[in-house]
Structures are given as C-alpha cells and as structure tokens.
Amino acid sequence: DQQVKQNSPSLSVQEGRISILNCDYTNSMFDYFLWYKKYPAEGPTFLISISSIKDKNEDGRFTVFLNKSAKHLSLHIVPSQPGDSAVYFCAAYGAGSYQLTFGKGTKLSVIP
C-alpha cells in the first residue's frame, strides 16, 4: 500500500525550462513533506521541505507547492540545469512520527 506516490518514473526537460515533479499522498496524517535528490552511487540529499500549515516554500531555484485538499505536492525547478539531473524522492512524516515514508522517485534528465 503506497502512501506516497510519484506516478512519473521519469521526466526530460530542456535546460533553462521549468521542471515540475509531482507527488500524491493518501495518508491525511502526513503533516511534513520533504524532497530529496539522489545522484547515482550516492545517498539522498535533502533539498527542500514544507509543513502542512503552508502552501508554498521557496529556496532559490526550488519551490515546493502543497495542495492539502488534493493531497498533492509538486517541486518546481526554475531554471533547470544539467546538474539537476538526478532521481528526486518525495517523502512525508506523520505528526509525531519517526517514520519517513518515501515515494519511488522520479528520474529527471535535463538536456543541454
């Protein structure tokens, strides 16, 4: 039973354009959402997060949007750069929980 779903296994975007990575969740107890970026042969790196009390959080080129009613979040990367090519994981915590539930990831390829 996948509680965090990333329905697009892969995405290709031209350099300089916007990358939009999507994530859906089913557990209404989730209240803190995180995005991780993973290069091959490396561990995931924390990228950006958002609390359920917000609907947007921005950090440089990265913006995460949260739509609680739709149980949907998205990560926007503008402008996309070749170095952004990686697998992106969406993850979520339930309130007071130690367990971080991950999606299966979306592989982003930014084409020069």
Partner 1 sequence: DAMVIQNPRYQVTQFGKPVTLSCSQTLNHNVMYWYQQKSSQAPKLLFHYYDKDFNNEADTPDNFQSRRPNTSFCFLDIRSPGLGDAAMYLCATSRDWGDEQYFGPGTRLTVT
Q: Which residues bind partner 1 (CB under 8 A)?
A: 4, 9, 32, 34, 36, 41-46, 49, 89, 93, 95-105
The least distance separating partner 1 from the CB of residue 46, rounded to whole angstroms, comes to 5
Q: Would you say 77 or 87 has its CB closer to partner 1?
A: 87
Q: Would you say 70 or 95 has its CB closer to partner 1?
A: 95
The least distance separating partner 1 from the CB of residue 79, rounded to whole angstroms, comes to 25
Task: Report the amino acid identity of residue 23.
Answer: C
Q: Would you say 91 or 110 has its CB closer to partner 1?
A: 91
69-91: burial string, b at 16+ Cβ within 10 Å, e else: eebebbbbbeebeeebbbbbbbb
The least distance separating partner 1 from the CB of residue 112, rounded to whole angstroms, comes to 25
Q: Are 9 and 106 in contact (CB under 8 A)?
A: yes
